[in-house]
Structure 1
């Protein structure tokens, strides 16, 4: 993500707020948490600025800011001031953000590796046999999803409750080379959408279709490359490898052989299990490949149709209490509703001409 520094006038003094708030404990945030804190605050500040906001990441952060984790007094005061001043959208925003809703809580289904190998092979076989659309020059990859992500909350105001965005539609258009794109996410982006144009070089964390075509389709070679290029990132090498595979597949299409290889590679990561019962953001029941992040206590689940093994969506469920989030809390939910190749930016499948 390209971050742009932004300042705005505030009616509350940070120093005064810091005096009013209880003293924070010693900071023990992981690098991931610090980056997510920074990314979320920058996104929110940019969304309230009167000038047009710069293009965001092509994929949303999986975990948004939790106010209540041990951060520095200045950062906490700034975040707290932000929630007071802007509420659920605030004046000066380019879009009226819907108020958050309390996060759903589900029964934590057990995970097992007893059927992992066979499940991965079923998923890989289905991916390999799928007729993946291949975008040509001038075309765009279109992904329509239903999503909900963890949002800002404050422990003093909400007393141990977690808050998420209401389920909403998110549509993304990306050119094969990743240099041009568009995002339409009503309520969370300015009306009509925003550009995703970028001149950043593609890599594992921000892949284009053209970049994906260069990756090895041998699962062992692919996994070795992922571990090598993500060394030192994330909460652990294994968790980062699992996260990276998910990032390579999110809001993107991949050649069928690579798609299969990615799932086979994921099955080789220690700690990956099968969860027999999971539900995506569209309410579809499925079977999941999942992995628990031991540091954050949440389990990321990739959900597949139990009969066809087609990818449905994803879910993040808190398994161990951490950062004030109770076990069973669903902090992220997505569902892919449509994947297609279209002839123009902002064009939807089946439409004639571009939808402005």
Structure 2
């Protein structure tokens, strides 16, 4: 007797399945809806872990999303590509919606005034009265920052979105083992701890570590090249990035600051840009270097009269990944550097806490 398979037991072919299932919809999501989905999906797939101190480089993390796109496809894209703010912020904690990146006229760089400009900057750094933190004290850095968020694109146009300018405050102990970060809109309310048991290095420098670095520019640059070998897009780009990271959210002895600038001037491709503006709107002169792979130029901006460090800026120089030339990908401004007596304490509030 031949037993017939029931309909339930029979395997269905692809064609029959397609006939039985309803036709898929063709949803068209607005940009606001996309951003809402992104925020929700990132909160689901990212662990709610404390964010570290700022990345040692302003890394380019661009996600290209086609419009229209289904929620399932969007989820898959996010599962494949981890998207974070370059300043070390956690997407799960981000509450400020991104804004379209500003576009500026690209000013060419030149080596004509490089030597004299660097000497002015180094001399100003040597003459500055840098406070030295003692045991139990903290290095306080207050900045205004904006970093790349996401790139949205459809068939004929694209938008590069960045974080809106916002305040970031960091406290770090001289040994780098204790710290606190307050970045409203990008970290949990009240801030997060930056405590770490990891030893200090060029990748994660503490004040105590910086004091051990050579102040001879040639020896310093040799050490930077050696310890960052194999990192970044090129040895020269990595060396320039490393020096910049030591300037942004750290306090360094005056002699070392001067040596860092003189060492940077020896990196091939470094130029002077006559006009650049930091995140606080302060205009100055810049030392800059172009990342040949990503096509963006990192600029360290200095006051034109005092040659004090103001902040940094990342500007796209050539078209890469649909990012238009002149697009500002990141912008920072150091508003205050000080030594305070306690974590979360701000200058002018000594002994009161903050």
Category of TM-score, reference length = shorter chain: 0.7 to 0.9
| 1:250 CA displacement | 1.8
Match of 1:104 in 2: 102
Distance (whole Å) between structure 1 residues aligned to residue 58 and residue 260 of structure 2: 19
Match of 2:58 in 1: 62
| Counterpart pick for 2:123 among 118, 122, 125 | 125
TM-score w.r.t. structure 1 length? 0.79
Within a 5 Å distance, the mapping from 1:1-356 to structure 2 comes to: 52-59=48-55, 62-68=58-64, 78-80=76-78, 95=93, 97-156=95-154, 159-356=157-354
Task: State the Cα deviation string for residues 147-203 of structure 1 (Å, max 9, x = none).
Answer: 000002332499411000000000000000000000000000000000000001111
Change (3 A) 1:326 1:46: closer
* Equivalent residues of 2:53, 2:181 under 8 A apart: no
How many residues align? The count is 305
Report the Cα offset of residue 61 of structure 1. Answer: 5.1
The root-mean-square deviation of aligned C-alpha atoms, in Å, is: 2.9
Q: TM-score, normalised by structure 2?
A: 0.80
- Contact 2:299 2:314 (C-alpha < 8 Å) held by counterparts: yes
Structure of greater Rg:
2
Using a 3 Å threshold, how does the CA distance of structure 1 residues 352 and 321 change in structure 2: closer, same or farther? same
Q: Can you give the 5+ residue segments of structure 1 that lack an aligned partner in the other structure?
A: 1-19, 21-42, 84-92
Report if aligned partners of 1:46, 1:54 keep a CA contact under 8 Å in 2.
Answer: no
- Note closer, same or farther for the CA distance 1:79–1:50 as it changes in structure 2 (3 Å cut): closer
Distance 1:257 1:186, change over 3 A: same
Asked whether the equivalents of residues 233 and 240 of structure 1 are also in contact (C-alpha less than 8 Å), the reply is yes
1:64 to 1:50, Cα distance in 2 relative to 1, 3 A: closer
Pairwise CA distance, 1:349? 0.1
